[in-house]
Every structure is written in structure tokens, then in C-alpha cells.
Structure 1
Amino acid sequence: MKEHLPYDDQLAKMLGRGLTSADRPGAIAALKRIGYYRLSAYTYPFREPPSEADIAAKRTRAETFRPGSSLEDALHLYEFDRKLRAVVLQALQELEVGFATKIGYTLGKRAGDGHLKLQHLDASACTVVNRDGVTAHAAWVARYEKLRSDAKDEEYVKHHVLHYGGEIPIWVATGFMDFGCLIRLYSLMDARDRKKIAYEFGLRGNGADTLYRWLRALNILRNNCAHSNRIWNRATVDVPPKFATQVAPEHLHHLNDLDNDRRQKIYLLIALTAHLERAVNPSSTWAWSALPTQAKKLGNVGGMTLENTMGFPDGWQELALWRK
């Protein structure tokens, strides 16, 4: 177990590796506010390339910092990322609510308990058995019941327990489902219903499969935003595949032109968020106001820009996706 370090020693450790700071009191205040390891994540891009010893030790960067690197630049990245998370989460929450509403309305037209009865879903998808010997639908129901139990003190849940014997229709139940639960339910719905919802998000053809892959990746981003994890230069672990051009609208076609390196960066997910959020709320200004305003605040920090660290294409603001 590592020894506990006082704040002065934490700062000394950073400065001893070549990082500079013109404001010692401000640096100590930042360590008290943010914490050494969370802040260290934003100093990491300023480290020297790995030496042979670093590579042998499986380190991707050296312990020392590039000349001219400052703690103030790392704090700029931290503040940029913190505000970017808030902006992105705002759009993802609106998308989540809109998606829940579409599922509740579409499946509710079949039956109030359509989420619990296989005859209202895709039986072949629901009966796939996982490695634990449990069907996909049974596993989903277990998660659903846990969320329902967690929401037992919500007024709308207590109302249905009191007046309807605890029977909660799908258009109400979506209120306590988290994004992951909703996405999994979507994958179990009747193909016609999935296609209908995908169509409402502007996707054609086999758009249901494409929408599912997009939402699955966006759920990871949403969770990182909600838990204050770094997102600005985080590699995407579940990169959505390229789509057929007839599936998605033209303003998204440039995403297929991104090379593999850029596809693993956050621009791809931010662009998908912009499209889906606007499908939920056509009057939204997020894509041409809130997101660009924050994105431009990165500027150029030690040679790091939107284009070379976050996957934004050159001239991105001129693309149709980011215009009124």
C-alpha cells in the first residue's frame, strides 16, 4: 500500500518530475479540490515519450514531463473536460428521456405489460441463453425488478401499487429504467417496433441495428459523464461500426470517412448525440450553440487541439450537422 502524502508533498512530486507552476497556493488549492490522481490524468498528456525502460515496464509515457509543461495547462484541460461533460450529459439526458418515451408509447400500443410478455416481443431474441443458462429476457426482467424495487418510494410507483395491485404499464415503468435497461429492452422488442423507433430517429433500412449500436456506445459515454470520469481524450471502447449510407441521413455521412484512429475518439459519439438529440427535440440549439461554444474553449494546449486529440475533422463547424 502506498504511503499517504500531504498536499505539499503531492505538489513537490509533480514539480520534481518537471512540471512547472506559477501559482503555488492555487496549485495546492486545486489538489485539495480535485485530488492528486484525478488531476494526474490531465497532466499525463504532457509527459515525455516512453524510454526503453518505460516500454519494458509497460508504461506508455515517461515519468517526466516535456519542457515547458505547466500545472496551469493541466488545470485548463480539467476545467474544459468538466464543462464538456456537463454539456454532453445535458444532451444525453434529453435523448434518454425521449428514447424512453418512444419505447413506452410503441410497446404500450401492444399491451401495458408488453415488456413482460414474450408474445409482444421478439421471441427469438428473448430466448437466447447466456453463459449462466439464463434467457436474455429473464436476465432483463431480473434487472427490471431490481430497478422497480429501488423506485418503490416514488409517488407514481406507490400510486400503481395502491390502485392497480402493483401492475405498472410500460409507459410508466420506463420512468425508473436506466438507459442501459432501456437499450436492452429495445434489443428484445419486436422487429417492427424497433424499426418504427429507429425511423423516428431518422434511420432507414436496417436502422434498428444501427441505432442499437449507437445507443450502446452512448450509454458508456453517459455513464462516464455522470460519474465525472475524463471524456475529452478517452478512447471509445465500443466503437459503432460504419453504416450503410442509405440508413443514416446525409449530415452523418462524413462519420464514415473518419479513419480508424479518429473513430476511437469522442467526436464520433458527440456527432451521434447531436443527431439523436435533435431528433428528440427538433427545436434544440445544442448542436449549433451549446456544444460548439464549449468545444472551442479547448484551444491549443501544448499542441493539443480538437482535431488531433478528440477526432474532430478539419472545418467541422461548416458541416451541415453543426449548422442551424
Structure 2
Amino acid sequence: MEFDKKPLAVEQQIQLLQERGMTIPELKKASLFLTNISYYRLSAYWYTFLQNPKSEHVFIPGTTFDKVLNTYVFDRKLRLLIFDEIERIEISLRTKLIYEYCLEFGNNWYENKSLFKGKDTYYYKLQELLISEMNKTSEVFIRHYRRKYSSPPNPPAWMALELASFGQLSMLFKNLKPNSVRKRVAAHFGVDEIVLESWLESLSYVRNACAHHMRLWNRKLPKTPIVPKNPQYIWLEKNPNSKDENKIYLTLCIIGYLLARVSPGNSFSKKISNLLSDFPEIPNHYMGFTPNWKKEYLWGR
């Protein structure tokens, strides 16, 4: 089948939305936002306002442009909040990995092939990636090391791994062989190695989604994070239904749990509660929230 849709001028986009049943009282406002956000991006937010079958593209009565725009604004604020909090977890993970492995295996443990699982594919990929980052970085500490020291050729882990992204740290943890050091890293976050590996993978995806301005509020994550069976600290009394485990609520719970380990006294729970209070019209079930989530100890009751 050939794609035969033609681009529409903003005025035509507005007319099409009105024909499909969306109320747009302020045409200039709609034109401004469609000029700067784009029809296609906003279409992901008005999808939930469509009647069934959604393929008919007819809006539920009462759907307004402002309701769609509020959903977009809510999602943007949610992404910014999540992105900021994951930064704390990323820095803690990097710190703990470097600290524990350096004490046990030396400054340049990331170059020790025996610490990595299976075949050498990931090990060589990591070395290539880090060397590439070190060659192109403008970070003063890397340039200083290379000017001053000739042996070993590459700087210690506390310098080299500062250049690794959260996704790369997640892959690094996943590919390290099980041992007492890896267990200590996981224990620092209050879960076992398998759970932490799964959580880091999910957080890496969500962090990238935030960084690339992807919709989150009603997105299904590509891989469901593991729900811990025996968490060391306060977890959920009632886990999400299995059909909701790949929605953002479970990820928010994971962030809250990890932040309690790495940043005690943080205000994440309050920020989430305030955001939802500011947008009471946003349906929580699209995000996988359980009906009585506010009563969970994890969320501070």
C-alpha cells in the first residue's frame, strides 16, 4: 500500500479537528500551538479522546483542544520530574560501581576481561566505546591524565566511567559476572542483582524517553521491570495488575524505592502527588496507578 496522505496547512488541521468533533474556541491559540508542537505529536495525546472504533477518528463529545493541550503539558512536566530524579540514581550507581570494584579489583578493573560474562563481545565493545569517548571528550581530567601519565595508558575507572551514559552503566552492570562485589552494589539499592539489573534497564529506557521528549503518561514500556518478591525495605502492599506492570506507575514506584536508598528525605512522593493534583482531569489508569496508591507506605501515606 502506498502512503498517500498529503501535508495540511495549520488552518486545514484545525478544520479537520473540528470536523471530527473537537471543540476549539480559541483558533489563534490552537494555531500557535500547532505551529510550534505539530499536529502529529499532539495526535498521540488526543488518541485517548477518540470514540471506538478509534480508526474512525471521531472525538468523544466534550473533547476540547485545551483538554488535549493539558494532557501534553502534564506529560511534559512528568518527564522533567522523572529525568531530574533519575539523575540522582545514575550518579549513585556510578559511584557505587566504581567504589566497590576499584577497592576489590584495582583502578582499571573495567579493563579486566575476567570480570565480564560469556564471550568477549561486550568486553571489547565497552573498551572501544570508552576509548572513543576519551579520544573525543573535552573533559579536563581526561586530557590532564593523558598529558601527565603514560602508564597505564587509560585513566582509572573513576575518570573513565564518568564518560559513560546511564544506559552504558546499565549494560555494564548487566554484563559483569556474579560475585560478592556485584551483590554488594545491588544490596546498596535494597534489591538483589537480578532485580537491579531489570530496574536499571527499565530506567535507562525511561530516561532516554525523557531526554528525547517521548510521550510517557500512557506509554507501554517495551520490557516489564521485575516486581521484587523479597525487597529489603518498604515496597508496595499491592502491586499493579499484570496488565499494568509495563506502564509508568511501576517505574515511578521503582524510582521512589531507589531514591529512599540514595537520597533519604527526598520530596519525590510529594512532587508526584502535587503534579497529579494540579491535573485532576488526567486519568490515572492510563499510567497504571492502583486505586489506593496514596495509601501505600512507599508513597508516604
User: Scaled by the length of structure 2, what TM-score is found?
Assistant: 0.91
2:237 aligned counterpart, secondary structure: helix
> 1:103 offset after TM fit, Å?
1.0
- What amino acid is the match of 2:281? N
Does the 8 Å contact 1:236/1:264 carry over to 2?
A: yes
Q: Secondary structure at the match of 2:111?
A: coil
**Equivalent-residue separation in structure 2 for 1:215 and 1:47 (angstroms):** 35
CA–CA distance in structure 1, aligned partners of residues 66 and 32 of structure 2: 12
Distance 1:146 1:274 in 2: 34
Q: d(CA) in 2 for partners of 1:253 and 1:4?
A: 48
Deviation at 1:199, TM superposition (A): 0.8
Q: What secondary structure, in the 3-state scheme, does the structure 2 residue paired with 1:95 have? A: helix
Equivalent position to 2:261, from 279, 285, 290: 279
Question: What one-letter code is carried by the residue in structure 1 that aligns with 2:128?
Answer: A
CA distance in 2, matches of 1:283, 1:155: 34
Q: Is the 8 A contact 2:186 2:193 kept in 1?
A: yes
Determine if the alignment matches structure 1 residue 218 to structure 2 residue 172: no
Q: Within 2, Cα distance between the matches of 1:211 and 1:285?
A: 22
- The equivalent position to 2:29 in structure 1, one of 23, 26, 29, is 26
SS in 1 for 2:97: helix
Unaligned runs of 5+ in 2: none
**Residue aligned with 1:299, SS:** coil
* 2-structure distance, mates of 1:63, 1:188: 46
Match of 1:131 in 2: none
Q: 1:194 aligns with which of 161, 182, 200?
A: 182
Aligned to 1:184: 171
Aligned with 2:73 (options 56, 70, 79): 79
Q: Identity of aligned pairs, percent?
A: 27
Which residue does 2:297 correspond to in 1? 320
State the 4+ residue runs in structure 1 displaced beyond 4 angstroms.
Answer: none
Q: Is the 1:275–1:321 contact (alpha carbons within 8 Å) kept by the matching residues of 2?
A: yes
**Which amino acid is the alignment partner of residue 240 of structure 2?**
L
Q: Once the 2 structures are TM-superposed, how far is the Cα of residue 299 of structure 1 from its aligned partner?
A: 1.1
Alpha-carbon deviations, 1:89-147, whole Å to 9, x = none? Answer: 1111111111111111111112111001124x14xx1x33xxxxx62212232333333
Unpaired segments ≥5 residues, structure 1: 51-59, 129-133
Report the number of matched residues: 294
Counterpart-to-counterpart distance in 2, 1:62 and 1:192: 57
* SS of structure 2 residue aligned to 1:279: helix
Aligned to 1:55: none
* RMSD value, Cα: 1.8
Matched, 1:10 2:13: yes
TM-score by length of 1: 0.85
Deviation for aligned residue 1:2: 4.3
